[in-house]
Amino acid sequence: MQILKTRDELQGLLAQARRDGKNIGLVPTMGNLHQGHLALVDAAIKECDFVLATIFANPLQFGPEEDFENYPKTPESDYAKLEQSGCNVVFEPSVSELYPGGLDHQTQVTVPGLSERHCGVSRPVHFGGVCTVVSKLFNLTMPDTSFFGQKDYQQLQIIRKMTADLCMPIKIVGVPTVRENNGLAMSSRNNYLDESQLLIASNIYTSLEQAKIKIEKGERDYPALEAQAIEFLTQSGLKTDYFSVCNAATLEPATQTDLHLVILTAAWLSPTRLIDNIQVKIIN
């Protein structure tokens, strides 16, 4: 597995792969890899014959009060995991390699509407930063397919829309969330939690499952369901940012006639903010 740090090296290697007729799969990450990331690499290996993972903690997608400075960095163990999983190349640029003109006057890509609700309310700069860096990575690597976790469901929908709106000829694949035995979604931010907090955090998935079961049993009063879930999370020691039953495509509040729903939630276990979601298909 090659580890590349510069755009020139990367583009040279990818040009050769393309000349060789290889189908290129891109797995963008911010590093500190866990089983959830490796599931993206596995999916890429199944579908593509040349797999590139990127490791880049993107400063543009963190707000001023957020954890950019402390974001966990574990390059050696990341390389070992990627190598073992069969990844062909890792691109790990510095901030100045990806943003040579600095961050202040960087052209930004934004997806209006979808980016403004849910996580976008408490993280107003986040999705603009994500779309900007993902666009840069797409332009640099021109992959056939790119892989993103369903754990970041809103991000996945935003990237799908960005790709379609900007006519980017890239297939976007959403890969199912990988969970701990107690249901907690794997996340680099779980590293901030101690044993007892990890147990408390598993109630996030419990709240989603409980809501899903109620909907499957016929409950359609979604605001009431949301209120019950927030009460459950509060009792469990979590501070809810939002808990929303939504249309799975538009992420608008679900209506009585929607058949494919996603329940999105974010909660604080101070000072750590965790997100998760669950999809519900209503069969009449």
CA–CA dist 61, 57 (Å, integer)? 9
Segment near ligand PAF (CB under 6 A), from 129-137, 230-238, 241-249, 271-279?
129-137
133 scored as a contact of ligand PAF (CB under 6 A)? yes
Of the residues 34, 37, 118, 126, only one is catalytic, namely 37
Between 162 and 225, name the residue whose CB sits nearer to ligand PAF: 162
Is 115 a residue that touches ligand PAF (CB under 6 A)?
A: no
C-alpha distances in Å from residue 50, one per residue of 43, 88, 90, 122, 151: 12, 6, 11, 37, 25
Axis crossing angle, helix 126-141 with helix 153-165, rounded to the nearest 10: 50
Encoded one letter per residue, x for contact with ligand PAF by CB under 6 A and - for no contact, window 136-155 reads: ----------------x--x
128 vs 225, beta carbon nearer ligand PAF? 128
Q: Which two tokens stand for residue 174?
A: 């959403």
Coil, helix or strand for 32? coil
What's the token pair of residue 162?
């960005």
- Asked if 29 interacts with ligand PAF (CB under 6 A), we say yes
Decide whether 29 or 150 has the Cβ nearer to ligand PAF. Answer: 29
Distances (CA, A) of 56 to 14, 61, 92, 167, 170: 18, 11, 6, 25, 20
118 is catalytic: no
Q: In what order do the strands lie in the sheet with 272-281?
A: 239-247, 260-269, 272-281
The count of residues interacting with ligand PAF (CB under 6 A) is 10
Residue 38 in contact with ligand PAF, rule: CB under 6 A: no
- Beta-bridge partners for 146: 26, 172
- Contact 131/158 with Cβ under 8 angstroms? yes
Per-residue mark of binding to ligand PAF, 56-85 (x: CB under 6 A): --x--x------------------------
Which range, of 63-71, 127-135, 162-170, 203-211, touches ligand PAF by CB under 6 A? 127-135
Supply angle C-alpha 138, 143, 149, rounded to 5. 75
Contact with ligand PAF (CB under 6 A) among 111, 130, 204, 262: 130
Name the residue nearer to ligand PAF (CB basis): 150 or 155. Answer: 155
Which residues are catalytic, by number?
37
Contacts to ligand PAF by CB under 6 A: 28-30, 58, 61, 130, 133-134, 152, 155
